Amino acid sequence: MDASGRDGETPIAVVLPSPLSEVHDDRVQSHGIRLYLKRDDLIHQEIPGNKWRKLKYNLAAAKDQGHSRLLTFGGAYSNHLRAVAAAGHYFGFETIGVVRGEEHQPLNDSLTYAVGQGMRLTYLDRATYRRKSEPDVLAALTERFGSCYVVPEGGGNGPGVRGCAELPSEVDVDFDVIVCACGTGSTLAGIAAGLGGTARALGFAVLKGGRFLDEEVRRLQREAFDRVTENWAVDYEFPFGGYAKRTPELDAFITDFQARHGIMLDWVYEAKMMYGLLDRIASGAFAPGTAIVAVLS
Binding site for ligand PLP (CB under 6 A): 49-51, 79-80, 154, 181-187, 266, 269-270, 297
Pick between residue 148 and residue 265 the one whose CB is nearest to ligand PLP. Answer: 265
Give least dist CB 270 to ligand PLP, A. Answer: 6
Q: How far apart are CA 88 and CA 69, in angstroms?
A: 8
Helices 49-64, 186-194: axis angle to 10 degrees equals 90
Q: Rank residues 147 and 258 by Cβ distance to ligand PLP and give the closer one.
A: 258
How crowded is residue 109: how many other Cβ atoms within 10 Å of its Cβ? 10
Q: 215 CB contacts (<8 Å, ≥6 apart)?
A: none
Outline where 46-125 has alpha helix (H). Answer: 49-64, 79-91, 109-116
Give the span between the Cα atoms of 32 and 217, in whole angstroms.
31
Closest CB to ligand PLP among residues 31, 156: 156
Q: How many residues does the chain have?
A: 297
Q: List the beta strands (DSSP E) in 173-261.
A: 177-182, 200-205, 232-235
Distances (CA, A) of 138 to 35, 128, 149, 150: 44, 11, 11, 9
- At its nearest, how many Å lie between ligand PLP and the CB of residue 26? 26
Distance in angstroms (rounded) separating the CA atoms of residues 162 and 106: 37
How near is the Cβ of 7 to ligand PLP at its closest, in Å?
23
- Of the pair 31, 178, the CB lying nearest ligand PLP is at 178
Q: Is the Cβ of residue 92 or residue 210 nearer to ligand PLP in the bound state?
A: 210
Please give the positions annotated as active site. 78
Rounded least distance, CB 74 to ligand PLP, Å:
9
User: How far apart are alpha carbons 144 and 123 in whole angstroms?
Assistant: 13
Provide CB contacts within 8 A for 240, sequence distance 6+. 246, 247, 249, 250, 272, 275
